[in-house]
Amino acid sequence: MHKKDIEAGIFGLVVGDALGVPVEFRSRAALAKDPVYDLREYGTHRQPKGTWSDDSSLTFCLMESLVNGYDLEDIGLKFLQWKNEGYWTPHGSVFDIGMATRQAITEFSKGTKSELCGGFDEYSNGNGSLMRILPMAFFLFNELDIDKRYDKVKAVSSLTHAHFRSVFACFFYVELAIALLRLRDKEKALKETQETVFEYCYLRGFNMHELDLYHRVLKGNIGMAEMEDIRSSGYVLDSLEASLWAFMANDSYKSVVLDAVNLGEDTDTIGAIAGGLAGLYYGFDNQFDFWRMQMARYEAIEALINRFANSLKVV
């Protein structure tokens, strides 16, 4: 792993997020008539071009905390600072926040233990922890103990989303990102991740009903699915499937993120989740680099990535 991997993965997420912000909540049918080909301005949230959302903000908060090591309470404090003070926002204020994330951060502010803040019920399975989990792949890259990787990903997810379904999505995503960094082959990385994750969950005796829900993620190549069979809602299972579909079905960063965003509905988050994988796998092409330079707070993001890479002793 090199600093360039971190830079491409994080900016991949941010650009995917920014491409989706102006068209969030638009239907697939509407976007088929007016597809996203480039960065836009205004739209759904009336934000200028290059504006990213809570997906990127909370990713930055997590990264900044990890610079000083793994500390759940500090991560929670960064999230609280974001919600209350507009910390790590593109323009000084929060314009988008999920209900479960808001409730969890409120619980944290009341003194609830960090890993107990997220919702545990089946209806608390939005994509709010999956959208920000990518830095854990870089942080855990050299951790050989899969138990430790799982437990740390679970705890970081549980700050806002504690149900197994959300935790599993984060774990699979982090394991896939690590495999991509090691193998540099997305077909091999997906196959290895499917086998490793399923075996681990089986041996730990995790709920098989929950694992069955992820059958398309755990078996075969979801990139071969038909677009009409892919849902792009904010439900964590839909978001992971949609992101993996866009990543596996395309052969460049640009095509991945544009396909992800043009699925409609939760466009910014699916763009971010898919974009993180595509960025670290494909790296910077000309269009990606052009988009990257237009991101709000570009220099601050670069500085954070440098600090994060230095803390991991990555060059």
pLDDT at residue number 311 = 98
Q: What is the pLDDT of residue 96?
A: 87
Write out pLDDT tens, residues 172-230.
999 999 999 999 999 999 999 999 999 999 999 999 999 999 999 999 899 999 999 99
pLDDT given for residue 130 in this prediction? 98
Average pLDDT over residues 53-74: 97
pLDDT above 90 (res 114): no
Greater model confidence, 122 or 244: 244
Average pLDDT for residues 103-120, to the nearest whole number? 93
Pairwise CA distance, residues 212 & 314, whole Å: 38
**In the chain, what are the domain boundaries?**
3-311
Average pLDDT for 110-136: 94
pLDDT value of residue 220: 86
**Least confident stretch, 116-125, 138-147, 306-315:** 116-125
pLDDT at 65 exceeding the cut of 90? yes
CATH topology of domain 3-311: ADP-ribosylglycohydrolase fold (1.10.4080)
The pLDDT of 237-242, averaged and rounded, is 98
| pLDDT confidence of residue 105 | 96
